[in-house]
Structure 1
Amino acid sequence: MKTNSALCSSFLFLLTASVTIAADGMVAHWPLTTDARDASGANRHAVNHGVSFDENEGASFDGIDAWLEVPAEKVPELGAESFTLAAWIHTDQKLDDVLGDVMSWYDPTTRNGFNFGLMNYAGVTSAQSNYRNVFFGIDAAQSGDQWVDCGRPGNNQLINSLVVFDGDLYCSTWEPGENDRGRVYRYAGDKKWIDCGAPDKANCIKAMAVYNGKLYVGSELYSGGGSSLPLSPNLHHGGTVYRYEGGTAWTNCGKVADVRSISGLAVFNGELYAGTGTTGAWRDKPRTRGMYRFDGIGKWTDCGCPGLRITHLGVHNGGLFGLSYDDGGFLRYQGGTDWESLGPVPETTQVYSAMTYEGALHVGTWPTGSVYRHDGGKNWSHIGRLGEETEVMAVSVYNGKFYAGTLPLANVYRYDGESHWTNTGQLDVTPDVRYRRAWSMAVFNGKLYCGVLPSGHVHSLEAGKAVTFDKQLKSGWRHLAAVRAGDKLRLFVDGELVAESTTFDGSAFQLKPEQPLKIGFGQHDYFNGRMKDVRIYNRALGVKQIARLSAP
């Protein structure tokens, strides 16, 4: 039995520890060096789902199914108060998977909670829209159906791609006039777009991706017939890839085989790949309808054609996937010129897009206007038709929810579970046309952007409140901190403030999702990398405090 003196000493120690935690504001701390236990003293220990630990390298997350779960009853109560999330993360330079979520406490049914992670979105039709960008958002079912017109770049009739590059949003266009060319534009806010030039004589700049810190684009000859529009008199062939050098300057990276189209670009395992199989493929040369790898200026290596056109490209769980406009084709690249068929996608003729949502790859299709989830091998699950639409094109994950754009009405739908899709709005109301397309998407400056045909406008949507780091996050160890400071959100990378939201009504964002806190998993995907020193504070840390946390 303890003496009175010993009991007093124990009481003073506990009191001192409690005061220290309260003064510091840290309500959870997972060092992640040897286990998933909480070191804050609040006993918020996590349940381990396949994560491995190393005392020096932290916790390893495989990007496939490993994550940590803090039971709902142990999650700190945040409500409408300020808080800070902080973590050290390590990502590899060469990636064969998306990067996934750092931390998530979110209920998709009620749209309540926060989302904190990284965006690698390949397969958004023609583009890799986001590459190594950081996202932090909160929501309590606020807004989500008020689209804002961001203008029409040039004389375009179709926004083929939207891509975030070096802190800015870029788009590529189809401009079908006889003396027009496909162009690239940079968004300057409001309805203003800056012309970045027309690198090719073709009427369309189709595909876009960020690779090795540079923006790459691919050209296409697009007639307009596939969208039931008047045929373009500009008949210059596409099929060439260009690298952006700033201003209106471009470097020609070479013509790809004998094709008329670069229909998709994506980065996989440190290499840039191009799909070529849209209407630009020569009918008498079917081998040119496949995929090619960039091996230097003017050097494109044939990666084979599996008998179906390879149009757009997706990346997921160690695989590079080819999407086809033929027979519902969905194929996995095996290396060399070999492909494995994982299709056909049921009741599908054409596969347009791919997006990882809640850890699984989903695709958008024609002609039933449906989204299917890939369940491995040749197994697929139908997760619903989007209204009465016939085609699903642009897809994205934004602030915890899955969004998809459609034809023929250019609506954008939000997935609300159990095959239910909510229409957030029609983005193109051009009269007297057969088809309207919501073709391209990207997440930028805390908002979701979508480009359409035939009006050629870009629109933005804000659901909840969010901030984004719109530059490429460097590989290796990086410190991330997400802060809710009353009526503003802030995002820090390596101790530097990189984004701050506009002011919002804090009382409208009561965060009570009644869900487990997920570390290394969320609404997008399982985290692909290593993590350590994960913390939650029940207050908004300042710049100096975050700088100390991020010190090596």
Structure 2
Amino acid sequence: MTDDCLIGHWKLELDPGDASGNNHHGNNTGARFDGSACWFDGVSGHIEIPSLSSGCVGSGDFTISTRVWTAEGQQDITGDIASSFDSRLRKGFNLSIDDRPGLTSSQSNKRNLFFGIDDGLSEPSWRDCGRPGNAVLVFAMCVWQGGLYVGTFEGGADERGHVYRYAGDSAWIDCGSPDGANSVASLAVHEGCLYVGTAHYHASGSSLPDSPNTFPGGKVYRYEGGQRWVDCGRLGDACEAFALSVFQENLYAIPLYSQGVYRYDRESHWEEIGRPGNCRAFALGVFNGSLFTAGNERAGVWRFDGSQWHDCGLQKDVDQVYSFAVYNGALHAGTWPRAVVYRYEGGKDWADCGRLADELEVMAMAVFNGKLYAGSLPLAQVYRSDGSREWTAVARLDWTPDVRYRRVWSMAVYEGKLFAGVLPSGHVHSMEAGACVTHDSELSAGWNHIAAVKAANTLSLWVNGVKVSNCHTPRPFDITNDVPLRIGFGQQDVFNGAIRDFRLYGRALDFREIARVAAE
């Protein structure tokens, strides 16, 4: 019987009551019921089950089964479906639909399903995944249609920036050079297609010799498979299409060495929609219904609501903002010249979340299995947020001698691992914290049945009754903690959409049972 070992069943139609008979009733902190589902606005409000935590499954098998609805247009990151995770102990589970706009110059993940567990007993180990081509810098990363793609800066006189697809171990497949520029600086998925931006990058900004290749970039291209690319136009007269992000069903881009934010009109034309702060920008983030720009030249952060720009203020002693990440329901920004991470408090207010040791700059930032990770300059270290203002160095990824700067520029989550790309060795590295499984294709909009299963030494994800991904756990995990189960919120953000028919089982459902529940 499918109802065997049913711990809780929250129909989430009229209230957060438990229909299993086990009386694990929930508290509503601001979500909305409409008689058929529970709606979350991505900003505030979730369901908390005070009598349940991940301790109810401990080291045993369990299954989460639920139905989720998400909108077609992207006005916010999608957020967490459910979580019971003790951040201090790194212990519990996370189930989310991941979006990562503003990860330096790319939107590295778009609507990718994630399920992870951890017990905090071991530190992650990093693995060298090789050097794509002759990369000096792994500029950009993006997950698309089951693959991990990267864009590179290659510095030789006869070299160009390339796009490569990861082929496992240390192998990379060359997807070609969209044009003659020395860099492919940005990647993003839009309307089911992979888009990239090319750039003439000045390596002197990283205290390296400039490339003799001065071919102008500044164009965006759409990938057609193999080594085929379609020209989608130039950003004004810019020589760099430096960052890409999707907001309100539109693709946005910025240059690097000139001002302006541009919006794609789908006919190879880019409309300039403003010059926030009259300064250059470094990254494009999306949060709570707005597009955010990370400013250079003490421009701070600016917010675009779809029609107007709004000043979100400056961070103390900050000249440049390099990246965005959404963590614990708040927008975070990585900065120069003291490598401080700041949390947006609304209006023009920012809270200091601590400095990455004695580093100078915070580059890529990403939430992975419940924790926020940040890459640095000048040592190319990765740090983990372990408290209100505490950062733990977990790995140094580039040991190139006799250079001034080393950077962890790009990150993405793929095949249940966190990947990072560096300068100047041009290598990609990966690590796993706990055990994680991902569905590395964009989840379709509308209603989907989702199941996440822990069965002995295996994690698996299922969409509409079909298994889409699985992985083997390296060892047993006891994820017991005292943090209440939360539906519609977790370590990343409040869910943006609707959830109904949420069930938690204290065993692993088999494929027949999952198909039966999905068909109900």
In the other structure, the counterpart of 1:536 is 504
Question: Tell me, what secondary structure is at the counterpart of 2:472?
Answer: coil
Q: Work out whether residues 252 and 297 of structure 1, in 8 Å CA contact, stay in contact via their aligned partners in 2.
A: no
Q: Could you list the per-position Cα deviations for residues 215-256 of structure 1 after superposition, in whole angstroms to 9, with x for gaps in the alignment?
A: 000011112000000111001111000000011000000111
Q: Quote the Cα distance in structure 1 between the aligned partners of 2:310 and 2:489.
A: 28
| 2:216 matches 1:237 | yes
Q: Quote the Cα distance in structure 2 between the aligned partners of 1:368 and 1:311.
A: 17
Q: Quote the Cα distance in structure 2 between the aligned partners of 1:305 and 1:357.
A: 27
In the other structure, the counterpart of 2:348 is 378
- Specify every segment of 5 or more residues in structure 2 that has no aligned partner in the other structure, as ranges: none
> Residue type matched to 1:535 in 2?
R
Q: Alignment partner for residue 304 of structure 2, among 327, 330, 333?
A: 333
Q: Quote the Cα distance in structure 1 between the aligned partners of 2:512 and 2:29.
A: 35
TM-score of the superposed pair, with normalisation by structure 2:
0.98
Q: Alignment partner for residue 360 of structure 2, among 365, 368, 390?
A: 390
Q: Work out whether residues 202 and 211 of structure 2, in 8 Å CA contact, stay in contact via their aligned partners in 1.
A: yes
Q: For residues 3-14 of structure 1, what are the structure 2 equivalents within 5 Å?
A: none
Query: How far apart are 1:142 and its partner, in Å?
Result: 4.0
Q: Quote the Cα distance in structure 1 between the aligned partners of 2:240 and 2:68.
A: 38
Query: How far apart are 1:463 and its partner, in Å?
Result: 0.5
Q: Alignment partner for residue 518 of structure 1, among 486, 494, 505?
A: 486
Q: Could you list the per-position Cα deviations for residues 49-92 of structure 1 after superposition, in whole angstroms to 9, with x for gaps in the alignment?
A: 11111223x11111101100111557761111000001100000
- Specify every segment of 5 or more residues in structure 1 that has no aligned partner in the other structure, as ranges: 1-19, 282-288
Q: Alignment partner for residue 266 of structure 1, among 219, 237, 245?
A: 245
Q: For residues 168-247 of structure 1, what are the structure 2 equivalents within 5 Å?
A: 168-247=147-226
Q: Alignment partner for residue 441 of structure 2, among 471, 476, 482?
A: 471
Q: Work out whether residues 488 and 504 of structure 1, in 8 Å CA contact, stay in contact via their aligned partners in 2.
A: no
> Residue type matched to 2:512 in 1?
K
Q: Work out whether residues 54 and 93 of structure 2, in 8 Å CA contact, stay in contact via their aligned partners in 1.
A: no
Query: How far apart are 1:311 and its partner, in Å?
Result: 2.8
> Residue type matched to 1:149 in 2?
D
Q: Quote the Cα distance in structure 2 between the aligned partners of 1:59 and 1:466.
A: 27
Q: Work out whether residues 283 and 294 of structure 2, in 8 Å CA contact, stay in contact via their aligned partners in 1.
A: yes
> Residue type matched to 1:98 in 2?
I
Q: Quote the Cα distance in structure 1 between the aligned partners of 2:164 and 2:221.
A: 14
Q: Could you list the per-position Cα deviations for residues 239-275 of structure 1 after superposition, in whole angstroms to 9, with x for gaps in the alignment?
A: 0000000110000001110001111100001000001
In the other structure, the counterpart of 2:60 is 81
| 2:18 matches 1:47 | no
Query: How far apart are 1:101 and its partner, in Å?
Result: 0.2
In the other structure, the counterpart of 2:288 is 317
What CA RMSD, in Å, does the superposition of the two structures yield over aligned residues?
A: 1.2
Query: How far apart are 1:369 and its partner, in Å?
Result: 0.6
Q: Work out whether residues 129 and 162 of structure 1, in 8 Å CA contact, stay in contact via their aligned partners in 2.
A: yes
Query: How far apart are 1:419 and its partner, in Å?
Result: 0.7
Q: Quote the Cα distance in structure 2 between the aligned partners of 1:143 and 1:198.
A: 41
| 2:5 matches 1:25 | yes
Residue 376 to residue 116, structure 1, CA distance change in 2 (3 Å):
same
> Residue type matched to 1:66 in 2?
G
Q: Could you list the per-position Cα deviations for residues 6-40 of structure 1 after superposition, in whole angstroms to 9, with x for gaps in the alignment?
A: xxxxxxxxxxxxxx89x612110000011000000
Q: Work out whether residues 235 and 262 of structure 2, in 8 Å CA contact, stay in contact via their aligned partners in 1.
A: yes
Larger radius of gyration: 1
Residue correspondences, number: 519
> Residue type matched to 1:35 in 2?
D
Q: Quote the Cα distance in structure 1 between the aligned partners of 2:55 and 2:204.
A: 56
Question: Tell me, what secondary structure is at the counterpart of 1:137?
Answer: strand
In the other structure, the counterpart of 2:387 is 417
Query: How far apart are 1:312 and its partner, in Å?
Result: 1.2
> Residue type matched to 2:280 in 1?
R
TM-score of the superposed pair, with normalisation by structure 1:
0.92
Query: How far apart are 1:304 and its partner, in Å?
Result: 1.1
Q: Could you list the per-position Cα deviations for residues 310-346 of structure 1 after superposition, in whole angstroms to 9, with x for gaps in the alignment?
A: 331000000101111220520011445x421112122
Q: Quote the Cα distance in structure 1 between the aligned partners of 2:123 and 2:372.
A: 12
In the other structure, the counterpart of 1:102 is 81
Q: Quote the Cα distance in structure 1 between the aligned partners of 2:506 and 2:303.
A: 45
In the other structure, the counterpart of 2:409 is 439
Q: Quote the Cα distance in structure 2 between the aligned partners of 1:545 and 1:346.
A: 55
